[in-house]
Amino acid sequence: MSQPAPHLHQGPTTRGTMLAAAGCLVPAVAWGVLVQGPGALAVLAVAAGASLACELAIGLAAWRRFTLADGSALLTGLLVGLSLPVYVPLFVPAVAAAFAVAVVKASFGGLGRNWMNPALGGRLFVTFSWPALLAVRPRPPAGWLRVPAGLTDGSLLGGSGQLGLVSTLLLALGGAYLLARRIAAWEVPASFAVSFALTVWALGGLPAGEGLFRGDLPAALATGGFALAAFFMATDPVTAPRGRAARLAFGAGCGLLCFLLRVYARRAEAPFLAVPLMNMLVPLLERPAARRGRK
Amino acid sequence: MNRTRSFPRGGVRPPERKLATANLPIRKACIPAEVLLPLRQHAGAPAACLVRAGQSVAEGQPIGRAQGPLAADVHASIPGVVSEVREILLPDGTPSPAVLIALEGEFSRTGRTRRPEDWRELPRDQLLRRLEAAGVVGPNGVPAAAGLRAAGRAGLLVVNGVESEPYLTCGQRLLVEKAAEVLSGAAIAAFILGAGSVRVAVEADKPEALRAAVEAASAFGFEVSALETRYPLEEESLLMRSLAERKAGPGASGFAVLEVGTLLAIHEAVTLEQPQIERVVTVAGEAVRHPGNLKARLGTPLSALLEECGLRGPARVIAGGPMRGFAVDGMDAPLTKGMKGILALSRRERLPAVRTPCIGCGRCGEACPWGLRPDELYKWLEHGETAEALGRGLEACTECGCCAFVCPARIPLVQGLAAGKRRGAA
């Protein structure tokens, strides 16, 4: 039988999932470009271009397949670009995107086979390769909005104060659409945000000697990087666990690690580190459910 | 009446697409010039052919004799001359001998009204013999008589008036138009089973059918339950869960489930001694201009029924419902006893998409009513690990299609799991 049942389908397709996620990034992308200026556009364009070119080349050379149509390379490129600061030399986004597509995704067999979110893999690769280039530093306003950007959090969208707040809101807006359409699982960002907020609020004041429940919650939450990781990277269906309990645990772990890395390790890009660390634990998180399902 | 209930886990809510046919009365299809009657319209082995090419047959004359378990007699659905007996492939791919009859001569049954006989005077054995003689078969391929015999003495009979597959409305229409006959069939089956109680299961969102069922049920003293529509509610075990019947327990002796079309056939077989030679089938889909429910002779070519309903444009033709039916290539496949629908679906309404690798979204596991992980089972089977898949519950799969229905990557999960089950059984 060439055409097996069912003959009807429902819900988003693979391409629909990827393109919807990319589309939901658009408001945040626009904001980032407005604030950071043409440099941001260049970072995004280089990252997306490198990602698409790599996917095309590997797909044709290794698998003899045209895989750009599934939309995942475009999404990876955008995420890589958004996760990098605006002041990096342009070879950095190119290397990050290429590493994401070629090593993190393709070397494991392509879409659906990678264990780590490709965009985060690429981001971490450049973080540890050129720490000086990616170090968090203040940035004079260069965008069309002439908003003082202040200290960045190591992402295009980041920064302390209002900038980060607006970015967070815009990302959350896109993320909310993904959750409402059930393209992304709500459990992951929900438990990520809750555990991160709770730990920051309860324990975040300790390193500064301020005691319990004195953490600076708004400052911690209102950075673009956190919302980007929680809504768009941790929810990646390929690398997030399946099953409600596993997803809740996964998000909670991301939040906790994010807190430790930000408050104790003082890493601005903490969310980008927390998610891949939890990606490693996904098989363990899925194990109890698999055991139960076994007869 | 109970409050709306459903089964606990999984299932999907496909677009219903029943409006086109739900409110149209059942109409009679044209008598075809030729019918092709497969001798395998049941789960068991093909019936033994009783006719030769060139032989004249009367309407309702037996042309196939049941052999072996789960087999049923086949009758000529029109009077005529046997032009040939040939081997065909049924829509599900199984081979079967089939008798081709060209219309000729007089109808000996059609147009003659018979007075229904009071079955209450007949003993149980004779009732079963009448069902066998009429060749009554349910949509799952189980002959009614064999099913009732196997159920033995059941405490409960459930009338399955549920139709959660999209497009199909023939069961709903039967309840609206023929509730008394359907429930009379249920009374006969309940008598054969010695069932103390009969429950009629209807979906709560089909008010007209529900009203007809409630009205008719009061005359018989049956209970009606309104259930929440969610595919695949018509599956026996999910139906029982939805009715909140204990699966097993003290006093909960067996149960039997019979679908409304089968019950109507049982009623006609017993009170009119009418063999099963026609059925009501939903003809629908966007590629059909005048969809509806047609009472058609078994063996009518699907092409004839589709043409009668105004087939237009290119379409995928499906024998059965959209979730479990079979795509047919040539439309000379005939109407059979278990076929509830004939659909001509346009591309637009099917939502096809490019197949991609599994992205691990887990939707298939959420949709599975049995709590399986279709994606994992599929991957194990892909690597030839049938035993591992069986250990992870593959046997529980009923091929309802919920997993593949929601799969964003359009992976043919049902096909893979069904093939794995066959390998496991072999």
Q: What is the mean pLDDT of chain A?
A: 88
Query: What is A14-282's CATH number, 3.40.30, 1.10.3470, 1.10.3430, 1.10.287?
Result: 1.10.3430
What contacts A108, CB < 8 A, 6 or more positions away? A114, A115
Name residues 374-393 of chain B within 8 A of A (Cβ): 376, 391-393
Contact B102, B80 (CB under 8 A): yes
- Residue B253 CB coordination number (10 Å): 17
pLDDT of residue A141: 63
d(CA A78, CA A67): 17
Q: How far is CA A100 from CA A52, A97, A114, A116, in A?
A: 11, 5, 10, 10
If you measure CA to CA, which chain B residue comes closest to A235? Answer: B361
Q: What value does the mean pLDDT take over residues B145-156?
A: 87
Residue B273 burial (10 A CB sphere; 0-12, 13-18, 19+) = middle
- Residue B242 CB coordination number (10 Å): 22
Quote the minimal CA–CA distance from B230 to chain A in Å: 14
CB-nearest to B401 from A6, A112, A185 is: A6
**Are the Cβ atoms of B415 and A4 closer than 8 angstroms?**
yes
pLDDT of residue A266: 84
pLDDT of residue B322: 95
* Domain boundaries, given as residue ranges, for chain A: 14-282
- At residue A4 the predicted structure's pLDDT band, cuts being 50, 70 and 90, is confident
Q: What is the pLDDT of residues A102-136, one digit of tens each?
A: 999 999 999 999 999 999 999 999 999 999 998 87
Task: Identify from A1, A2, A8 which residue to disrupt to test chain B contact, counting B C-beta atoms within 10 A and taking the largest count.
Answer: A8
Flag the least confident range among A55-59, A216-220, B14-18, B204-208: A216-220
Query: DSSP string of A134-195?
Result: H---B----SSS-----B--SSTT--STHHHHHHHHHHHHHHHHHHHTTSS-THHHHHHHHH
- Residue A226 CB coordination number (10 Å): 30
CATH superfamily of B19-23+127-271: NADH-ubiquinone oxidoreductase 51kDa subunit (3.40.50.11540)
Interface residues of chain A, partner chain B, Cβ below 8 Å: 1-17, 69-70, 110-113, 185, 237-240, 242-243, 290, 293-295
pLDDT of residue B2: 45
pLDDT of residue B313: 77
pLDDT of residue B278: 94
d(CA A115, CA A279): 7
**Are the Cβ atoms of B362 and A243 closer than 8 angstroms?**
yes
Name residues 288-347 of chain B within 8 A of A (Cβ): 316, 318, 322-327, 343, 345
Quote the minimal CA–CA distance from B351 to chain A in Å: 6
Contact B130, B273 (CB under 8 A): yes
pLDDT of residue A150: 62
Flag the least confident range among A149-158, A175-184, A251-260, B31-40: A149-158
Contact B311, B288 (CB under 8 A): yes
pLDDT of residue B3: 52
Flag the least confident range among A221-225, B221-225, B368-372: A221-225
Phi/psi for B375 (5° steps) reads -65, -45
pLDDT of residue A159: 67
State ipTM. 0.88
- At residue B250 the predicted structure's pLDDT band, cuts being 50, 70 and 90, is very low
pLDDT of residue B1: 43
Q: What is the pLDDT of residues B3-37, one digit of tens each?
A: 567 888 889 999 999 999 999 999 999 999 999 99
If you measure CA to CA, which chain B residue comes closest to A182? Answer: B363
Flag the least confident range among B61-70, B234-243, B252-261: B252-261
B405–chain A Cβ distance below 8 A for any pair: yes
**Are the Cβ atoms of B322 and A7 closer than 8 angstroms?**
yes
pLDDT of residue A291: 66
Residue A58 in this model has a pLDDT that exceeds 90: yes
Q: B212: which 2 tokens?
A: 């007809």
B14–chain A Cβ distance below 8 A for any pair: yes
Q: What value does the mean pLDDT take over residues B189-216?
A: 93
Q: What value does the mean pLDDT take over residues B133-157?
A: 90
Amino acid at site B422: R
**Are the Cβ atoms of A5 and B322 closer than 8 angstroms?**
yes
Q: Which residues of chain A does B343 touch, with a Cβ-Cβ cutoff of 8 Å?
A: 7
**Are the Cβ atoms of A5 and B373 closer than 8 angstroms?**
no
Q: Which residues of chain A does B410 touch, with a Cβ-Cβ cutoff of 8 Å?
A: 9, 13
* Domain boundaries, given as residue ranges, for chain B: 19-23+127-271, 363-425
Say what percent of chain A tops pLDDT 70: 92
